[in-house]
Amino acid sequence: MGLDHSLVGVSSEPQERSWDSKDALLYAVGVGAGLGDPLKELEFTTENCEGIEQQVLPTFAVLVAQGRSGRRLGDFNRAMLVHAEQYFELHKPLPVQGTVRTTSTVTGIYDKGSGALVVTENTAVDAATGETLVTSRGGTFIRGEGGFGGPRGIDPPWVLPDRAPDFEVVQETRPEQALLYRLSGDRNPLHVDPKFAARGGFSQPILHGLCTYGVTGRALLSALCDGDPARFRSMYGRFSRPVLPGEPLTVSIWLNDDRESAVFQTTRKDGAVVIDRGRITLTQAPGPR
């Protein structure tokens, strides 16, 4: 059957999703908060430390805006599906607990030759007030589903600066990182089952792309926002290589001239780029180094 192209432009019914303090804490640990220094990021990993108010990592917005009961995209080998790209915009900082109603729309199915890129946009509004909280866009690449003659899509301009990065942050990951991250909701066996991973062409289970994204988000939050989620507006990244749990990641960041936006790349220890064409916008420029 292949992919169902009739889904393009069709919005889902609103889906309700709630989270609480425990969900935010579990997500923070799942993307490496507290690793190596359990006293360093207490505002994201604890809720009852004297003088410290719990906050929520900005990248948790991607999970908040996910629909729980996604539509079938068609019949294909699930082992050939990988997360290709992710964008989100925060319209206000995330509360420690809340409920949203999310509407999801498949905005395009693009022919990339070796596979198809399915792009979905989600809008999450506060269930009590109707105020927009998160807008997110995600791209899923399905190997073997290309060649149908559709549009390829247009990439926004992005240039790697020809200078040393303004910031470079090394983030460790745990060998068991995928086991922790999956508890936030993504139970795809690609990240834990060696036999399933082998069917997708991987030598062993790989780390969730959104976990790498969250680790990267923590680096950006620290380097550009002094750890303050209210200064973090939006983030985009393209997943270009797999990451194995336990691999350290380096986030290289170049500020733009306006100092309220930057571009970044995330690399493995061997230098391979794992998140490419990264962009972040801020509500406030970072202070002097």
pLDDT in tens, 59-92: 999 999 997 544 577 777 776 777 899 999 999 9
CA distance to 24, 74, 80, per residue, from 245 (Å): 21, 30, 20
Domains of the chain plus CATH, in order, are 2-282 (3.10.129.10)
* Residue 191 annotated as catalytic: yes
Q: Give the pLDDT confidence score for residue 214 in this predicted structure.
A: 98
- Mean pLDDT in residue range 7-31: 94
- pLDDT on residue 82: 79
Residue 78: predicted pLDDT: 73
The reported pLDDT for the residue numbered 164 is 98
Average confidence (pLDDT) over 192-216: 94
Condensed to tens digits (0 to 9), the pLDDT of residues 197-206 reads: 998 889 999 9
pLDDT(144) > 90 = no
Catalytic member of 37, 186, 226, 228: 186
pLDDT at 241 over 50: yes
In the predicted structure, residue 289 carries a pLDDT above the cut 80: no
228 flagged as catalytic: no
Q: Which of 155, 191, 257, 276 is the catalytic position? A: 191
The burial class, CB within 10 Å (0-12 / 13-18 / 19+), for 63 is buried
